[in-house]
Structure 1
Amino acid sequence: MEEKSTGELIQELMSESEIDAYLTENQPFFADQSVSELLQALYEKKSLSKAALARKAGTSEVYLHQVFSGRRKPSRDRLLCLCIGLGATLEETQRLLQQASYAQLYPRSRRDAIISHGLLHGTELNAINDMLFAQGEGTLF
């Protein structure tokens, strides 16, 4: 079964008169992974220890363990820190933000543009925070 784009799903939703039919037909395409599951899948693709990830994300190993186990939900900024620490792509980060019900990074926002640029260029968290501070924007931690 071929993956449907968000645009295709929206078009089907707009043209479908019965929500039940839409839900049944598109069940395989609904996002069903939790934030912790998505983070775990991303982490498993990296050759990085949890201790190194905690350092790169500016967080403690205890907090990291709680997030990965699903016992804590990170704030938007903490989730961004984890994405930066993991070396996530902009697309992976946007998916995690969306799954966590947070606003995706928006290029018309100065702060989000700085963060997006850092993600696109593999910039470390401290350097992103320095740029945010230099531009008068709130840092990630």
Structure 2
Amino acid sequence: MDRKTTDELLKILENVSSERALEKYVEEHTEKPEGSLAAYLEKILAEKHLEKSSVIQASGLQRNYGYQIFSGTRGAGRDKLLALCIAMKMTAKEIQRALQLAGLNGLYARVRRDAVIIFAVNKGLSVLDTNELLDEMGERILE
């Protein structure tokens, strides 16, 4: 099956007239969420052989808050999650997935601040170096 553009999917959805047709549309054209943010972060930690404590320290988050995000008992704001993801050396694609699972806006290359963050991620910069770059570019740091 060819992957359709969002515009094509919207046209198809406009013509859905029954619940049965909606079920077919959902089955054929939508993505199923894969678990929780906490489970995803645990998976990435294991894949990259990282320790939560060192990631939290590198992220600059308060220790308790970082552990609460990892356990799923507390939600993360966009900047806090970005800091954790950068500290975990996630790829831009992995970060987009984490943001999606958290129900947060993804990184958008047309947004100046997001473009700087994407650049930093692609270059493997630390949270501290990312914040320095953001500041140099006149953008708000990750707080």
Sort the Cα spacing of 1:26 and 1:110 in 2 relative to 1 into closer, same or farther, 3 A.
closer
Q: Is the 8 A contact 2:96 2:107 kept in 1?
A: yes
Structure with bigger gyration radius: 2
Q: Deviations over 1:58-112 (max 9, x none)?
A: 1133212211111111000011001100000000001111222221111122211
Provide the residue aligned with 1:20 in structure 2. Answer: 23
Q: Deviations over 1:17-58 (max 9, x none)?
A: 22122234568x411311111111111111221111011111
What does 1:1-141 correspond to in 2, within 5 Å? 7-8=3-4, 11=8, 14-15=11-12, 17=16, 18-24=21-27, 29-141=31-143
Residues matched between the structures, number: 136
Letter paired with 2:26: L
Any runs of at least 4 consecutive aligned residues in structure 1 with deviations exceeding 6 A, and if so which?
A: none
Letter paired with 1:48: L
Sort the Cα spacing of 1:14 and 1:32 in 2 relative to 1 into closer, same or farther, 3 A.
farther
Q: Is the 8 A contact 2:9 2:29 kept in 1?
A: no
CA distance in 2, matches of 1:49, 1:135: 31
> Alignment identity in percent?
32
Q: Is the 8 A contact 1:90 1:120 kept in 2?
A: yes
Sort the Cα spacing of 1:55 and 1:94 in 2 relative to 1 into closer, same or farther, 3 A.
same
Structure 2 portions without partners, runs of 5+: none
Letter paired with 2:92: L
RMSD after superposition:
2.2
Per the normalisation by structure 1, the TM-score is: 0.84
CA distance in 2, matches of 1:44, 1:14: 41
CA distance in 2, matches of 1:9, 1:33: 25
